[in-house]
Amino acid sequence: TTLEAFARGLPKAELHMHIEGSLEPELMFALAERNGVTLPYKSVEEIRAAYAFSNLQDFLDIYYQGAGVLITRADFKDLAVAYFERLAADGGVHAEIFFDPQTHTERGVAFETVIDGLLDGMAEAEERLGVTSKLILCFLRHLSEESAFETLEQAKPHLAKIAGVGLDSSEVGHPPAKFARVFKAARELGLKIVAHAGEEGPPEYVWEAIDLVGVDRIDHGNRALEDEALTQRLVADGTTLTVCPLSNLKLCVVPDLTAHPMRKMLDLGLKATVNSDDPAYFGGYLLDNYLETAKAVDLSRDDLVVLARNSFEGSFLDEAEKARRL
């Protein structure tokens, strides 16, 4: 079989995907029309042409603007269902999806509208596609600790439906330490914890995420490799890294996919996984990330099996569920 058929046929979990980042230009246009929202673009082609980013902030500015078309519960459901259909077509069987409530509550969309719509989509995906999923609520790190605490408060009636909390948005200048107390409160509520660290930020932010915050996974983690003691610590702890190769390329974290550290991460014994991050913006879903990375840094079929296994081992599925899928 071809590598593509092999990789598609491998059951895989996706652990790093922002649901707002799966908003394809076609759906963005349709929702803008449905909701009477004016977009600063005249066509789908014009939107795609705007997706040329020099760094994370370039992307975030466009990503938050795009999310402005999401207004109703049905919008969030449609968004989620569209993602799960793509994931299922790629041989994905489980996803732990990020959502950014503050992006919506700050413009007057209720927390309940967001979470209920996403849960509608997740239920349909499980029933119709056999894809299971969990929700991870992300705090926007460019906003205040106080705003994160308010968001955690809004999540309290929904804790049974939320697996964990994360930290995303503009990394540099907003270290994990800024949110140490919010994460402590989340931990006491029984939530898992993840944080974006070492995408653009320095190794020090990864140290903070593991030692100060006590994360269960690191999202990205690329720059951890600059610090040998940190790398050894992540190997010793078996910390899962949710790596996003096409995102790294599009946000200029790497100059070229052949320079991507994935090969090195596996050789070092790091528990790396492959993920799409914001697939509508970065030009590829889960399978594209596996295949393009495999081509660029010479991953074997055995490597792809390891990556897929890491995705289940690093997931927040319970042990019985993991055992069933491994």
Active-site residue numbers? Answer: 199
* Cα–Cα distance measured from residue 286 to residue 297, given in angstroms and rounded to the nearest whole number: 17
* Contacting ligand HPA within 204-263 (CB under 6 A): 247
Query: Is residue 56 within the footprint of ligand HPA (CB under 6 A)?
Result: yes
List 277, 288, 292, 303, residue binding ligand HPA (CB under 6 A): 277
- For ligand HPA (CB under 6 A), the number of binding residues is 11
- Chain residue whose CB lies nearest Zn ion: 277
Distance of CA 216 to the CA centre of its chain: 14
Any residues with CB less than 8 A from the CB of 248 and at least 6 apart, and which? 199, 220, 222, 254, 260
What are the E-state strand segments in the chain?
Answer: 12-18, 92-99, 132-140, 164-168, 192-197, 217-220, 240-243, 271-274
Tokens 């799409």 belong to residue: 276
159: its two tokens? 């804790």
**Mask of contacts with Zn ion, 234-273, x by CB under 5 A?**
----------------------------------------
Any residues with CB less than 8 A from the CB of 3 and at least 6 apart, and which? 291, 294, 301
List 77, 86, 196, 325, residue binding ligand HPA (CB under 6 A): 196
List 21, 117, 176, 279, residue binding ligand HPA (CB under 6 A): 21
**Shortest Å distance, C-beta 18 to Zn ion:** 6
**Shortest Å distance, C-beta 195 to ligand HPA:** 10
Tokens 């599925």 belong to residue: 317
Task: Choose the contact partner of 75 out of Zn ion, ligand HPA, none; CB within 5 to 8 A by kind.
Answer: none
164: its two tokens? 């964990």
**Shortest Å distance, C-beta 300 to ligand HPA:** 27
List 24, 78, 168, 292, residue binding ligand HPA (CB under 6 A): 168
Task: Choose the contact partner of 21 out of Zn ion, ligand HPA, none; CB within 5 to 8 A by kind.
Answer: ligand HPA
Q: Are strands 92-99 and 12-18 parallel, antiparallel or unpaired?
A: parallel
Q: Compute CA distances 212 → 39, 168, 171, 182, whole Å.
A: 41, 17, 16, 12
* Site of interaction with Zn ion (CB under 5 A): 277
* Site of interaction with ligand HPA (CB under 6 A): 18, 21, 56, 63, 168-169, 196, 199, 247, 277-278
